[in-house]
Amino acid sequence: MAKGVNSAAEQAEQLKQNGNLYFKKNRLGAAIDAYTEAITLCPNVPVYWTNRALCHRKRNEWARVEEDSRRAVKLDPKSVKGHYMLGLALLQREQYNEGIKALERALDLGRGAHPHSYMVEEIWQELAGAKYKEWQRDSTKRASDLQKLEKSCEMALKENYLHNISQDEDGITDSTSEQLAALKLVFSKAAEADKPTDVPDYLCCKITLDIFRDPVITPSGLTYERAIILDHLEKVGKFDPITREDLHPSQLVPNLAIKEAVEAYLEKHGWAYKME
């Protein structure tokens, strides 16, 4: 019995390897067939599901991406690819809230397992785009609601004061004109919250000048992007690029305060800077 199980597992693994080769050659149909056979033999292996989901993604078959990704994360709640592709599939259906949650989960898992991999950066970019689209949708609705409310308030003011005796040639009293000006100012201020804004310098890495993703602080008190400072220490030398003091990777500590500040800033401003 055990021999049969091992044989099935070995066959499934070979099918996965075949699928990988087909995928590299862009033979997506053949790759899907290979992964499907592997799943039939060993349905509880998450990577078979995520590999097939990746094929469906390249073919823009998002319903199947979602289906396979959900199965993968059910089998392995720590599957980075599973959460990542589930998030992408949900975004295709404009399920921004759930899609963003899935991408955030993928990002957290990716940072923990492979903090310097290309996938972490890819997930970050997709998450930025998703948050921007969510912000754009919500800000557009808020702008429309504000405009309707402003017009309603203007009409109410004009109707309320039209009966006044002292009117200018437009039929509106001086008092009304002042209130209308104040009203425009109030609504103008309310609309400013939805305008893109420059990222504060303290939220940006001093080397890349880009907003922090994974900030770490040095003994001298300077904060850098983790991947960037580690690359400097490996390729340039074991010293702080600004203070020139000795610095080793073991001395880097996560800057949780800056990380929280970045997240708060991005949440407020909808990651709009990413689309500049």
CB neighbourhood size of 109 (10 A): 20
Checking if the pLDDT of 172 tops 60, the result is no
Q: What's the mean pLDDT when you consider all of the chain?
A: 82
Residue that wins the pLDDT comparison between 108 and 36: 36
pLDDT band at 276 (very low <50, low <70, confident <90, very high): very low
Lowest-pLDDT choice from 200-204, 222-226, 239-243: 200-204
Calculate mean pLDDT across residues 181-205: 72
What tokens appear for 166 in the block? 């002292």
Task: State the pTM of this model.
Answer: 0.61
| Type and span of the H or E element at 215 | strand 215-217
Query: Can you give the pLDDT at residue 273?
Result: 44
Given a contact cutoff of 8 angstroms between Cβ atoms, the answer to whether 49 and 78 are in contact is no
> What is d(CA 257, CA 181) in angstroms, rounded to the nearest whole number?
41
Q: What is the mean pLDDT of the segment spanning 216-231?
A: 88
**Average pLDDT score over residue span 91-103:** 92
- Report the alpha-carbon distance of residue 150 to residue 167 in Å, rounded: 22
Q: Which residues pair with 211 in a beta bridge?
A: 204
CA dihedral 141, 93, 196, 149 (to 10 degrees): 0
- Least confident stretch, 105-109, 136-140, 192-196: 192-196
